[in-house]
Amino acid sequence: MLLRAPGRDVAIALYLSLLPVVASASACSPGNGGPSDGGQEAEPCPVGFLGTEGGAPDFDMLVLDGQEMVGPLDDGGTAPMILPPQGGRVIFVGVRATNVDGCGLQLTGALRDLTTQQVRVDSRTINLIDTNDGYGVSGTPDTSVSVAIANFSNVPVCPNEWSATNVYGTTYGLEVTIQDREGRQLTKKIAVTPECGQPDNAADCMCICKGGYVLGEMCDAGAEE
């Protein structure tokens, strides 16, 4: 399946149009909820520096939804929770960044319970794709979604054995950090409300993401509100 760009985001649409001709290495799959570094370059990265030398690093957050579309993730917005190949539910968080080295960029995403301060983290090394406007975006030239998601922070949020409340419908803090090979670094924090992003498996999502979920609990009977 192909990643499709929403019409409202011209930069992301440009990124997707460049996928067949841009070389990039993918990162490995995420860990078990703690920090993990899945990045390993398989071939030379052609991206280089993006933006203005000496300029302050900056980025916008991106998110992958249940329809395999990449869109902006804004403060106060919703964050789709998606079923990844390894099971559970994750939030796929990416960036559109400038004034950084686009090769070997460390991308870290963390979802924080604002009441207990419990946090779920995923960190990986990725290569950005140059969109020829001074920016680079999370992604891969491979059209396989299973490969593309490796270049997003796979923030693991369910099964919910860490937050006392339902993950869906609750406001959490999302923290995203980028750091390039030369030490340029920036962290941004926003508020997001996770939601079950795939209607076909919403009942299972709401079960394993509810507050008080116990690992191994049967979910085929549906979810508790």
Q: How confident is the model at residue 139 (pLDDT cuts 50, 70, 90)?
A: confident
pLDDT of residue 33: 42
Residue 77 forms part of a structural domain: yes
The yes-or-no verdict on residue 2 having pLDDT over 50 is: no
- Work out the average pLDDT over 134-145: 71
Residue 3 lies in a domain: no
How do the residues of the chain divide into helix, strand and coil, expressed in percent and rounded to 5?
A: 15, 35, 50
Question: How does pLDDT run across 4-60, given as a tens digit for each residue?
Answer: 433 334 344 433 333 333 333 333 333 334 444 444 445 678 889 999 999 999 999
User: Is residue 106 exposed (0-12), middle (13-18) or buried (19+ Cβ within 10 Å)?
Assistant: middle
Overall domain count for the chain: 1
Structural domain contains residue 68: yes
Q: Are strands 185-196 and 172-179 parallel, antiparallel or unpaired?
A: antiparallel
Q: Output the pLDDT for position 8.
A: 39
* pLDDT, averaged across the chain: 81
Question: Where is average pLDDT lowest: 40-54, 73-87, 153-167?
Answer: 40-54
- The answer as to whether 47 is a domain residue is yes
Indicate the SS3 state at residue 11. Answer: helix
Q: Residue 134 has what DSSP assignment?
A: S
- 77-81 and 185-196 beta bridge pairing: parallel
On whether residue 60 sits in a domain, the answer given is yes
Let me know how long the chain is. Answer: 225
CA nearest to 77, candidates 176, 149, 173, 219: 173
Instruction: Give the structural domain span for 62.
Output: 10-208
CATH of the domain at 117: 2.70.50
DSSP secondary-structure letter at 21? G
Instruction: Identify whether 223 is part of a domain.
Output: no
Do 155 and 118 contact (CB within 8 A), yes or no?
A: no
Helix (H) or strand (E) holding 202: helix 202-208
Whether residue 34 lies inside any domain: the answer is: yes
- The residue-averaged pLDDT of 147-170 equals 91
Pairing mode of beta strands 100-101, 49-50? antiparallel
Number of neighbours of residue 43 by Cβ within 10 angstroms: 9
Closest CA to 101 of 181, 43, 38: 181
The pTM assigned to this predicted structure is 0.77
Confidence grade of residue 170 (pLDDT, cut at 50, 70, 90): very high
Is 217 within the bounds of a domain? no
Position 140 scores a pLDDT of: 58
The residue ranking higher by pLDDT, 5 or 77, is 77
Predicted pLDDT at 44: 74
Task: Please give the residue that has the higher pLDDT: either 212 or 30.
Answer: 212
